[in-house]
Structure 1
């Protein structure tokens, strides 16, 4: 099976600590103990480690998890991935995520590997960024960061609605496919448009149209940044830092990662040496049909 490196961009970590975490849970850390940054800085001080909440417990399903590692403070950190074909549609998916940490590998021989723990693939995606910046991350159900929102609609009556109400095609995949709708509307205007579409559907043909209003949370912003990337990867500015989001195709997640930690679908994160410098490596083995049939 052929694997191909993809350059995904850069992140910055002025706090000196980089976090790879489950995007759907980043804003949940204060509910299970100390803030994410406090726990991440403590883990990085001892070389890096696996964080999960609440503290003092074993990692368990359906709750926040992250890996924290020390990183250079004054330079961009390059992010790249190895890919392999998805069993769902054959499109490329991440098999290895790597981040250059900008720090020297301390072993004299310049080679080695340190196990940090393991992470599931969050169905909501993964986030990679500065520990302190992520303390301010506005999650899926949070308020709009800029007072704006996006409205999208799709389904059985999409063409009829488009003829009556308008709305542009919004490409949410690299092949140009996506729903219709409006971007960057004031939140009140977005809700009003969505109400009109729902009322038209309810009073007219009935079920058959889906309508969504997505406030500009940080979660939505980095999902949107990755809409047109083959790996659903994109970066946003958060707290003066460049923070990276990595989405997951729902079909691929269902076939390869569904159940996450509850079903043992977790993947190792390690510190590795490369040409004398440290890298963070998260390894998701390529799909193996023969293995999965056993």
Structure 2
């Protein structure tokens, strides 16, 4: 039983450090992994171009078919610490992420970026231009996706760093059983979670993704 799991059991909302990312392009993206490397070539666009346009407005949501992301402007030279709030899964007891927080620094007004599903294949957080080069599930070998899964294999929160186009990004996975019970159906079933930019007295501006299923009440059929 890990110390992370023990802290979660005590009922406190602990923030656990997951590492840091950088965004040399000045645009940070949190994206679903499943269709990341398929959708953009198929429509003749680049994720980074769409993300830059969204970031220029202060940040917002991107959706193409089953792919979704949020993008925000950031300081290109600043390492961005990534943390997660964790609580025990009510179904399996293992520690599970209920909030992702990226400390952007500086000052900024609060903003709702949109909402995102917890993609069964995982999420990726990193520089918009670097993610143009992500090699995931649409081609063999699944280089970056496989590297992420290997990196996350022994992490209690299924999180793993991976280098893409020379830039460190962070892959965020889910326990298979916990995802099936708490996030299944994703957007089609109403399980989407708000991503916001907000100001924190101690950390400055932060990007928060509140991925707590207990706060979601999808409509019943």
TM-score by length of 1: 0.66
* TM superposition outliers: structure 1 runs of 4+ over 6 Å: none
Contact 1:225 1:236 in 2 (8 A): yes
CA distance in 1: counterparts of 2:162 and 2:78, whole angstroms: 17
DSSP 3-state at the match of 2:34? helix
Q: 1:118 to 1:236 in 2, by over 3 A?
A: same
Matched, 1:87 2:90: yes
CA distance in 1: counterparts of 2:189 and 2:44, whole angstroms: 25
Cα deviation, residue 286, structure 1? 5.5
Matched, 1:45 2:56: yes
Alignment of 1:1-294 (within 5 A): 1-30=11-40, 31-32=42-43, 34-53=45-64, 63-102=66-105, 104-107=106-109, 113-144=110-141, 217-275=143-201, 277-285=204-212, 287=214
Cα deviation, residue 33, structure 1? 5.2
Contact 2:108 2:198 in 1 (8 A): no
CA distance in 1: counterparts of 2:33 and 2:164, whole angstroms: 14
Contact 1:19 1:130 in 2 (8 A): yes
Q: Name stretches of at least 5 consecutive residues in structure 1 with no aligned partner.
A: 55-62, 108-112, 145-214
CA distance in 2: counterparts of 1:286 and 1:265, whole angstroms: 7
Q: Name stretches of at least 5 consecutive residues in structure 2 with no aligned partner.
A: 1-10
Contact 1:85 1:92 in 2 (8 A): yes
Counting matched residue pairs gives: 206
- Cα RMSD (Å) of the superposition? 1.9
Q: 1:46 to 1:26 in 2, by over 3 A?
A: same
Cα deviation, residue 250, structure 1? 0.9
Whichever of the two has the greater Rg, that structure is 1
Partner of 2:4: none
Contact 1:118 1:266 in 2 (8 A): yes
Contact 1:86 1:287 in 2 (8 A): no
Cα deviation, residue 287, structure 1? 3.9
TM-score by length of 2: 0.87
Q: 1:85 to 1:256 in 2, by over 3 A?
A: same
Contact 1:98 1:279 in 2 (8 A): yes
Cα deviation, residue 106, structure 1? 3.5
Contact 1:32 1:53 in 2 (8 A): no
CA displacement 1:237-287 (0-9 Å, x = unmatched): 111210100111110011000000000000000001123721110002254
